[in-house]
Amino acid sequence: MTDRPIPSRYPSRDPWRALVVVAQVPETGLHRDIVADPRQRQAMAEIAGLREVVSAQASFDVTPKSGGRFHVAGSVRARVGQTCVVTIEEIENDIDEEIDLIFAPPEQIPQMAALAEEAERSEAEMPDPPEPIENGMIDLGRLATDALFLAIDPYPRKADAVFEPMIETGDPEDHPFAVLKALQAAPEAPGGNKPKGKSKGK
């Protein structure tokens, strides 16, 4: 579950956008379902370094709160094409990530951030500072994109893929114990086998 502010890691490249004007959100709240089209999915795949984004959709509920703040809760679901790090085969992985954030007017952000920092120092429980409402709007597409990117497995592998390290088998005669055995067998070696001779009688 994503219950922390999701950083926008690609502020200049937002391939999937779905703007909500907060002034138009009714008191009862607003529900939005969004689906990424092929062009948006291709752009997301290029940004995230994926082979492809097969599908991407998200659902959100935007609810007004006191002080001009808004609660945004929902989830993003996607299927992404990747390459198994073990077998180098093409695979597809499903993503289902929940989103739960508070948005507030920009002027409230510094104060809320200071309160969160103070609570952290005192080890008191304090929710994460809210995300800013930019130009009177909340971009649900950006939220969905960032949550999707954060949920991507950087080391994908097939369910039955097993990494087997390569084992090199050398010449048995090159083994250190084989060399030691040969030295011990040499006549001049201490403890080695010496030729047997006839003992002199008295």
Question: Is position 194 within any domain?
Answer: no
Question: Is position 170 within any domain?
Answer: no
Question: Is position 134 within any domain?
Answer: yes
Please list the pLDDT of the chain residue by residue as tens digits (202 residues): 444 444 444 444 689 999 999 999 999 999 999 999 999 999 999 999 999 999 999 999 999 999 999 999 999 999 999 999 998 999 999 999 999 999 999 998 887 666 556 556 656 555 677 899 999 999 999 999 999 999 999 999 887 656 555 555 555 555 555 555 665 665 555 555 555 555 555 4
Question: Is position 185 within any domain?
Answer: no
Contact of 142 with 16, CB cutoff 8 Å: yes
Question: Is position 169 within any domain?
Answer: no
Question: Is position 189 within any domain?
Answer: no
Q: How far apart are CA 139 and CA 131, in angstroms?
A: 11
What pLDDT, on a 0 to 100 scale, did the predictor assign at position 110? Answer: 82
Question: Is position 183 within any domain?
Answer: no
Give alpha helix (H) positions in the chain: 38-48, 109-121, 140-151, 176-185
Length of the chain: 202
Token pair recorded at residue 21: 């004007």
Q: How far apart are CA 198 and CA 196, in angstroms?
A: 7
Question: Which H helix or E strand runs over 175?
Answer: none
Question: Is position 36 within any domain?
Answer: yes
Q: Is 147 helix (H, G, I), strand (E, B) or coil?
A: helix
Cβ-based burial of 53 (10 A; exposed 0-12, middle 13-18, buried ≥19): buried
